[in-house]
Amino acid sequence: MNDTISDLLTRISNAKNAGKASLNLPYSKIKMGILEVLKTEGYIGTYSKQELSISIDLTGASKDFTKIRRLSRPGRREYVKSKNITFPKGYGLVILSTPQGVLSGRNAKKSGTGGELICEVY
């Protein structure tokens, strides 16, 4: 697998569209950071780390999304300054990888730090 983040986003989207209550996927630190932002913003329920996997509960989500899209890819990285962070459709969520860790677009803009665009959710 070359792009584990795209795999994470695709699995979440497919499980949600199929009406699944939960899903399991391989563990990585970047995935845990992305899941923490998605949980904080209310797009997924709880998640937990087992030995080498992550279990995600999709039923506890307080917000619904129609699209989750990868922005920066391994072949073409996209970086943004804090003042240039935009939000999809005005209400969506942007997730960035910053020197302070994985942050939502609102938190990155508030702290004045830019970084690599990971994905957008709306």
Show the domains of the chain with their CATH numbers.
Answer: 4-57 (3.30.1370.30), 68-121 (3.30.1490.10)
The amino acid sitting at 118 is: I
Three-state DSSP class for residue 20: coil
Predicted confidence at residue 101, as pLDDT, reads 97
Reported as a pLDDT band with limits 50, 70 and 90, residue 1 is low
End-to-end alpha carbon distance in the chain: 26
Long-range Cβ contacts of 95-101 (<8 Å, 24+ apart): 95/34, 95/37, 95/38, 95/119, 95/120, 95/121, 97/30, 97/33, 101/33
Alpha helices in 1-94 (DSSP H): 4-17, 29-41
The first and second tokens of residue 100, run together, are 């302070």
- CA-to-CA distance for 41 and 49, rounded, in angstroms? 19
Say what the pTM is. Answer: 0.93
Mean pLDDT confidence for 64-80: 95
